[in-house]
Chains A and B, each alone.
Chain A
Amino acid sequence: MATVPDGGLKALIELCDEDPDLRVVTLTTEEEGIGLLAGMWLGGVKGVLLMQSSGVGNCINMLSLPHVCRIPCLVLVTMRGGPAEFNPWQVPMGQAVRPTLEAVGVSVHEPRRAEEVGASFQRAACAAFATGTTAAVLVSQAILGAKDFGRDRGAS
């Protein structure tokens, strides 16, 4: 598992850290994970990349690598910039995630409810590893809850 962490991924990253069968590689920028997963696949090992939506923009040109080489690439994206967003700097990339991913040939899987996330991830993994494509699962703030920036502790 490779990641640039996000708050929405906190529990999952902790589970990965505790799993003796997983190696967790912390990245400086998300596109590094695309190259890493491609190299691992060439060597016969599967991986998954976890990131926040703002990291998707960093990956766009690097996604040409798995696309052209028909290398499976499985990505889990926790979203920012939706209707409940507090920080306007998250909005442009948040809105651009789906259209930019689809523009470079990534299949996008977007569960509507928390109960659908597992099945959605399973479908994305099948799409990636069975057909040699890049598949991304987008988990919305409606499912995750929006970052509160301390507002529940009285901040304005």
Chain B
Amino acid sequence: MTTLCRRRVVSRILEHREDALVVSGLGAPTYDCAAAGDSPLNFYLWGAMGGAAMVGLGVALARPDRRVVVVTGDGELLMGSGALAVIGVEAPENLAILVLDNEAFGETGRQAGLTSKGLDLADMASAVGFRQVRTARSEAELDELAELVQAGKGPVLAVAKVALKDEPVALPTRDGALLADRFRSALGVTP
């Protein structure tokens, strides 16, 4: 039985983020990251479903000196599941993917997702060469998961089995050009 709260998981993992760069997948993971505290170093996706892991890989390859954390959901990750294979091969040590796995398409009416029917995301990532994978189901396992996402040698895939539950609204700006511009400015990238 899942006891983890997605907002608690994300705030616990991002509370000591230091200068980590965060890419969030569309829907609830974007809202969860905004609720944990807005930062110019958060790049929130509001669309482009299936793209979060590859955006994270791009940032990780461009900035090997910085920790890159992708926060996404089970449906978003699986839509772009080929990205796991690419990341396994490219093997960036600074990239961690945190999957908030509620086993459902929470944004569209809570239809059952593939992970509710036996698919194991950690096994998938492990099979394609992720250096470290872990699944947490309870609060007692959260500290270890947070440590892995924050500092574990990547590529890391961390799965948090979270409850299917509506959270308070926390919407960041959906102006993509603003998000990209402030992210690059905060990184000191010249235009």
Contact = CB atoms under 8 A, between A and B. Distances in A.
A42 B62 contact: yes
Interface residues of B, number: 39
B80 A32 contact: yes
Nearest to B83: A32
Contacts of A96: none
A32 B189 contact: no
A44 B189 contact: yes
A38 B83 CA distance: 14
A36 B54 contact: yes
Contacts of B23: 39
Interface string A38-52: 111111110100000
Contacts of A23: 61
Interface in B28-69: 43, 45-63
Contact of A43 (B48, B51, B52, B189): B189
B127 to A, nearest CB: 14
Interface string A58-75: 000110110011110000
Interface string B150-191: 000000000000000000000000001101110110010110
A36 B69 CA distance: 15
Q: Select the residue from A33, A45, A65 with max chain B CB neighbours within 10 A.
A: A65
Contact of B61 (A27, A34, A40): A40
Contacts, number: 120
Contacts of A35: 48, 51-55, 57-58, 80, 83
A28 interface: yes
B89 interface: yes
A43 B177 contact: no
A26 B187 CA distance: 27
Contacts of A64: 47-48
Given A27-B82, A42-B189, A69-B176, 5 more contacts: A40-B61, A43-B58, A61-B48, A65-B48, A70-B176
13 contacts: A28-B86, A32-B54, A33-B54, A38-B51, A41-B58, A42-B55, A42-B184, A61-B48, A62-B50, A65-B47, A65-B48, A69-B176, A69-B179
Interface of B: 21, 23, 43, 45-63, 80, 82-83, 85-86, 89-90, 176-177, 179-181, 183-184, 187, 189-190
Instruction: For the complex of A and B, list the 10 residue pairs with the smallest distance between their C-beta atoms, beginning with the closest.
Output: A39-B58, A43-B62, A35-B54, A28-B82, A69-B176, A68-B176, A44-B189, A35-B51, A39-B55, A45-B62
